[in-house]
Each structure stands twice: as structure tokens, then as C-alpha cells.
């Protein structure tokens, strides 16, 4: 029996609707949460992400502004902008779009963001709050993973979870969130011995390693829930063949459609999980349409959360929400 497909797009839309309702309540109290997005240079992928974030902000009623700086921006210039945004009371969230140009000290810039406005959840203060189960701002993608599980009625407490990937942005915070939800968690990486065997123990398997189709059916315990965080662009026909069996030759209508699009565009998007995993998993997030949409939805959620935490004393009716 094929895996149940977990619809990240629907869940993200539900969260956006909830955020929009919160923003209306806050507006009635005279407050409009504000998000500032900072983009340095002209990285095409970053420009697409930023446009999506600004558009989403407008759709849920947030105040948003975009600061686009030239490719030649220095660390000092970017720090000056961040310090200005830190001081502005109408800005509740600050997001510095990564990657930054090589001459900019990314760690120094991210450390300069006020932790109370750190809607990416990357600041060590927020990392510490997460690890000690105190209120703070949680990285958007891992928070989205938890929302998918909870809103799909997939039990976390008492389950064995394996996270493949140990990045500060996804792997580590995802592991902490699962621990906080009472799962027993193993974190794997490129140096893990017998990786497939460790993964095969998982009731919940989170793939966040950044390698197209690396998690094959041998990695997955039958019936397990598999959350695919990966987003990889495949351009090599041989790699496409490995992942999708050549579309038309494989006899799958969905693969045939994907193959036609691959031929037309020259690429396709695939996660870290091989498509064949759908034949053994109990539940699976698709790519695209799984975890991806949750990342922006949780950014909207975090901006409202930051506004409540910063301005709660000025909005008595919101402090208990």
C-alpha cells in the first residue's frame, strides 16, 4: 500500500489563515507586526525567496519592508543597517537572507540581530531557549516539520526518531524539537557507521542532508513516517534515470509528466528521499509541496510571535494567547 502523502501546502495555508486572524486582532489593539527582510547582492534564488516572503507578509496583513544592498556591501555597512532595524520599534522581525557575499562576516551579522527580533531563530540566545524548553523563536523549517507531524495526527511522544543531517539551521533544531516532544532521537551525518541500519530503526525519519535521493527504501522501516526536508535541483539525465526510472519507460503517469517537464526545463526538483520510499513508508512528505511551504508560513508565525513577546505588556488582551 503506497504511503499517505502529507500535504504541506494545505497545512501551510491553514497556518497562514490563523496568522492572518491573529494580525487582525492585533490591529484592533493598534499594533501591526512588522518584518524587515535584508537582501545583499543579486543571488537569483535568494531574490525568489525574498519576493515570496514579502508577498506572504502582505497576504497575512503584516507590515513588511525589503532592504536590498549592493554586492559590494561590507560587514560594517550591513551591521549598521541591522543596528538601525534593532532600534526601530515598528519592526518586530529581522531576516537577513543567506548566503551573504564572501566579504561579509555572516556569523557576525547574525549575532548582531536582536534575539527578540530573530525570526529565523538562529541567534545563540534562541538556540539556548529552545534547548532548555523556554519560550523563544524557533527556526522556521524545523518548526514546520513539527507542525506537519502534529497536524497530520502522527504521534511523536515515545517514538524513535532519526534525523539525518546536523546543520545548525535544520538538523540540530529539528532534533531538539523532537526531544522536547518526548521522542527518542538519534542524529546521523556523513560519518555515521551503517547509516541505513540506524535510519531503519526510525518510526519518524527526517531527511535533511542535502543529497538528492540519498535515502532509499533500504533506509526505511515499513510503515515509518518520512519527512523530506531536502530540495535539490537535478539536471543530469543519468541522475534523473536513477531517481525516476526514465519516466515513460517506468510506466508511471506521474513520472511521465515529470520527465516531460524535465525535458522542457532541463531540471527537476527532488528531495533527499528516493521516490521509491513511497512504496514502504506509512506517510511521506512530497517535494515540492511538503516541508517547503511550511518554512514561509512559520516565518509569518514567528513574526507575530515576536510582536506578542516584545509588545505583550502594551496589549493586555494578547498576553495570554
Among candidates 319, 233, 283, 272, which has minimal Cα distance to 3? Answer: 283
In CATH terms, are 27-118 and 140-291 the same topology? yes
Which CATH number is 140-291 given? 3.40.50.720
pTM metric for this prediction: 0.91
> What letter would DSSP give residue 282?
S
CA atoms within 13 A on the CB side of 219: 28
In the predicted structure, residue 253 carries a pLDDT above the cut 90: no
Q: What is the chain's percent helix, strand, coil content, to nearest 5?
A: 50, 15, 35
* Ranges of each domain in the chain: 27-118, 140-291
Catalytic residue selected from 92, 114, 118, 120: 120
**Mean pLDDT taken over the chain:** 93
Catalytic residue selected from 92, 97, 114, 172: 97
Known catalytic residue at 233: no
Catalytic residue selected from 53, 117, 221, 308: 53
Known catalytic residue at 77: no
CA dihedral 71, 77, 82, 86 (to 10 degrees): -160
- pLDDT tier, 316 (very low <50, low <70, confident <90, very high otherwise): very low
Whole-angstrom distance, CA of residue 211 vs CA of residue 199: 15
pLDDT digits (tens, 9 = 90+) for 100-110: 999 999 999 99
Known catalytic residue at 118: no
How much is the average pLDDT of 94-119? Answer: 96
Q: Which CATH class is domain 27-118?
A: alpha beta
In the predicted structure, residue 321 carries a pLDDT above the cut 60: no
Amino acid at each position: 500500500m503506497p504511503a499517505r502523502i502529507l500535504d504541506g501546502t494545505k497545512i501551510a495555508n491553514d497556518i497562514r489563515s490563523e496568522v492572518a486572524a491573529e494580525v487582525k486582532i492585533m490591529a484592533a489593539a493598534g499594533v501591526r507586526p512588522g518584518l524587515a527582510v535584508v537582501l545583499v547582492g543579486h543571488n537569483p534564488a535568494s531574490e525568489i525567496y525574498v519576493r515570496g516572503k514579502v508577498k506572504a507578509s502582505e497576504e497575512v496583513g503584516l507590515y513588511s519592508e525589503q532592504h536590498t544592498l549592493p554586492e559590494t556591501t561590507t560587514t560594517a555597512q550591513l551591521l549598521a543597517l541591522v543596528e538601525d532595524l534593532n532600534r526601530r520599534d515598528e519592526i518586530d522581525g529581522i531576516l537577513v537572507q543567506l548566503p551573504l557575499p564572501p566579504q561579509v562576516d555572516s556569523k557576525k551579522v547574525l549575532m548582531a540581530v536582536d534575539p527578540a527580533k530573530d525570526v529565523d531563530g538562529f541567534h545563540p540566545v534562541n538556540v539556548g531557549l529552545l534547548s532548555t524548553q523556554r519560550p523563544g523563536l524557533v527556526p522556521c523549517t524545523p518548526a514546520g516539520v513539527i507542525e506537519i507531524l502534529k497536524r497530520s495526527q502522527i504521534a511523536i511522544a515515545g517514538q524513535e526518531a532519526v534525523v539525518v543531517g546536523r546543520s545548525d539551521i535544520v538538523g540540530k533544531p529539528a532534533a531538539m524539537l523532537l526531544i522536547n516532544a518526548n521522542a527518542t532521537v538519534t542524529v546521523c551525518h556523513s560519518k555515521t557507521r551503517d547509516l541505513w541500519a540506524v535510519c531503519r530503526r526510525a518510526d519518524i525519519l527526517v531527511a535533511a542532508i542535502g543529497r538528492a535521493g540519498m535515502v532509499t527504501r533500504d533506509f526505511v522501516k515499513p510503515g515509518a513516517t518520512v519527512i523530506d526536508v531536502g530540495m535539490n535541483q537535478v539536471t543530469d539525465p543519468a541522475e534523473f534515470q536513477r531517481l525516476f526510472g526514465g519516466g515513460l519507460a517506468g510506466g508511471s503517469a506521474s513520472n511521465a509528466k515529470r520527465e516531460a517537464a524535465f525535458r522542457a526545463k532541463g531540471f527537476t526538483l527532488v528531495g533527499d528521499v528516493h521516490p521509491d520510499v513511497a512504496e514502504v513508508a506509512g506517510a511521506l512528505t512530497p517535494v515540492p509541496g511538503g516541508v517547503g511551504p511550511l518554512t514561509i508560513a512559520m516565518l509569518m508565525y514567528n513574526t507575530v510571535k515576536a510582536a506578542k513577546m516584545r509588545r505583550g505588556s502594551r496589549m493586555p488582551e494578547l498576553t495570554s494567547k
